[in-house]
Amino acid sequence: MLDQLAAGLAEIMTWERMGFALLGCFLGTFFGVMPGLGPVTAIAVLFPITTYLDPLSGIVMLAAIYYGGMYGGSTTAILVNIPGEVASLPAALEGYPMTQRGRAGAALAVAAISSFTAGIIGSLGVIILGSSVAHLALRFGPPEMLGLVLFALTAVAGLVSGSMFKGLSMAALGILLSMVGYDMISGSTVMTGGTWTLAQGFAIVPVMIGLFGIGEILRTLTTRGHSAKSAPLGKLMPTKKELKDSVAPTARGTAQGFSFGLIPGMLPSIMALLSYSWERQRAEKKGGSQFGNGDIRGIAGPEAANNGAAMGGFVPLLSLGIPTGPSMALVLGALMVYGLTPGPTMFTQNAEFTSGILVSFLVANVILLILNLPLVPMWARLARVPFHVMGPLVLILCLVGAYLDRNSFFDIFVCLGAGIFALLCHKASLPLAPLVMGFILGPMLQETMRQSIAMSGTFYLERPIFMAFAGVAILTIAWSIWRARRHTTSLRRAEASS
């Protein structure tokens, strides 16, 4: 591991790449403090900028944008009670009451320290586990990868959407969209209507910018917001009691977030909410709970779980080529644009490059801790700027980014169409995460299925690992259906009793 760290440091510790990491942290935090624009939107909108860099610098900047976006959401949640994303909701619930008591600085410091701790430990976890999982995955053939893809799709469809039918339907739509264009294996065009424009297929960048950039902007602009009120920042240094109370939740959140983050579908936002629920239950059992009135434990645990889950998602992404959610799917898309294929070979054929990525996680977390605490007053003022002023500017940036990917006006229309579709999905309560997973993993699903069938017509009975993944996928579907029915039954009972 020390050799890997040394090689990564040699790749990263240049003025140029450190500058890109610093810029990524700043831009990511900028998007994070904007209501409704979280890390996924930040990556989608800013990704075209990174395509002009060399692959390592681009991924370093994307990783920094990702972490900055997560940190920015908690900053505005604590200061002005506006969560930048779902994962920042616990920070708003417990941080804003502290702000009203003049303890905003302490809440921000604990959030930053907890995130930093989880980020550093999670980065080391990726370094330790990544190569081990990759070497294990070298034994995987097409049938095993097919089983893994099926499990990832069903896990995200079930865990994220709440409705297995909606989730699988959106995943199937994503797979269909990924099939549009020229089929390299058969040499024919698929669902193009005979037009050359569609024969190029839908590029990853404009689709992702549309879904998570344009879509979020339209949703926020059409949603009536509330004004942000000023509040005193207070001292940044927490008291000894606050530090003591935050240690155990940070440790639990880091372990829970990283462990569950390895599983497709267990997004950082889900882990943040689960950690908040667990910490609240734990506090209420002990007695003397201040949850809901500004309990530091409700900030430390979820913030650590959020960052821990984010880091855990990089293990299956880099070692298996399987994203665990939309953010990781965007990073996978970025690697594919650079001509890199995440998977076991990342740790063998591209060992130095991978080491550089892993070390950049450590660097980005350090930069965030040093950079953002002094800039808290600036982020607070930015959060108070009306979104109808900032939104159109970000919208223009989205359209420019969509065009620059292939210098195609068609991609601008694709981006706008994806944004409108995302808005309609939000109104219809249709999940976007399975759609993105289907779109990104669709080509891998097709390729591994064709290769598996070519190897043997009964491969599904001959490969134990495939059978194991398929079995877990079926259990995931069954569990999601049972959970939905139980929820429906409980609602009916509640209505009947009332």
Measured distance CA(47)–CA(428) in Å, rounded: 28
What is the pLDDT at residue 85?
Answer: 66
405: its two tokens: 């990917």
> 15-19, 96-100, 225-229: which has the minimum mean pLDDT?
225-229
From CA 182, how far away is CA 203, in angstroms rounded? 12
| Domains in the chain: boundaries | 2-143+201-409
Residue with the larger pLDDT of the pair 226 and 152: 152
Q: Give 413's pLDDT tier (boundaries 50, 70, 90).
A: very high
Residue 383 has a pLDDT of 64
pLDDT at 173: 93
Output the CA torsion sign for 121, 309, 376, 298: negative
Which pLDDT band holds residue 234 (cuts at 50, 70, 90)? low
Annotate the chain with three-state secondary structure: CHHHHHHHHHHHCCHHHHHHHHHHHHHHHHHHHCCCCCHHHHHHHHHHHHCCCCHHHHHHHHHHHHHHHHHHHHHHHHHHCCCCCHHHHHHHHHHHHHHHCCCHHHHHHHHHHHHHHHHHHHHHHHHHHHHHHHHHHCCCCHHHHHHHHHHHHHHHHHHHHCCHHHHHHHHHHHHHHHHCEECCCCCCEECCCCCHHHHCCCCHHHHHHHHHHHHHHHHHHCCCCCCCCCCCCCCCCCCHHHHHHHHHHHHHHHHHHHHHHCCCCCCHHHHHHHHHHHHHHHHHHHCCCCCCCCCCHHHHHHHHHHHHHHHHCHHHHHHHCCCCCHHHHHHHHHHHHCCCCCCHHHHCCCHHHHHHHHHHHHHHHHHHHHHHCCCHHHHHHHHCCCHHHHHHHHHHHHHHHHHHHHCCHHHHHHHHHHHHHHHHHHHCCCCCHHHHHHHHHHHHHHHHHHHHHHHCCCHHHHCHHHHHHHHHHHHHHHHHHHHHHHHHHHHHHHHHHC
CA distances from 222 to 8, 216, 420, 449 (A): 45, 10, 12, 42
Decide if pLDDT at 167 tops 80. yes
**Residue 494 neighbours by CB distance under 10 Å:** 9
Q: What is the pLDDT of residue 431?
A: 83
Partnered with residue 181 across adjacent β-strands are 190
Q: From CA 419, how far away is CA 268, in angstroms rounded? A: 23
Percent of the chain with pLDDT over 70: 90
Interval 358-406: pLDDT, tens:
888 888 888 887 877 777 777 767 766 776 777 787 788 788 878 876 7
* The pair of three-digit structure tokens given for residue 440, joined into one six-digit string: 């990104």
- Asked if the model's pLDDT at residue 82 lies above 70, the reply is no
Scan for tokens 């190897």, then name that residue.
Answer: 455
Q: Pick the closest to residue 464 from 131, 140, 130, 136 (CA basis).
A: 140
Query: Between vectors from CA 333 to CA 27 and to CA 447, what angle results, nearest 5°?
Result: 175
Q: Which has more confidence, 90 or 176? A: 176
Q: Cα–chain-centroid distance for residue 64?
A: 13
Which tops the pLDDT comparison, 421 or 13?
421
Residue 225: per-residue pLDDT: 54
% of residues, the chain, pLDDT over 90: 4
User: pTM here?
Assistant: 0.73
Give the tens place of pLDDT for each residue, 314-349.
888 888 887 777 777 777 777 777 777 777 777 777
Residue 473 has a pLDDT of 86
Distance of CA 330 to the CA centre of its chain: 8
**Quick one: pLDDT at residue 390?**
72
In this model, does residue 3 exceed pLDDT 70? no
How far apart (Å, rounded) are the C-alpha atoms in residues 88 and 78?
9
Which tokens hold the place of 281?
Answer: 């239950």
pLDDT the model gives residue 265: 64
174: how many CB neighbours lie within 10 A of its CB?
A: 24
Query: Distance between CA 114 and CA 135 in Å, rounded?
Result: 32
- Asked if residue 353 lies in contact with residue 60, where contact means CB atoms within 8 angstroms, the answer is no
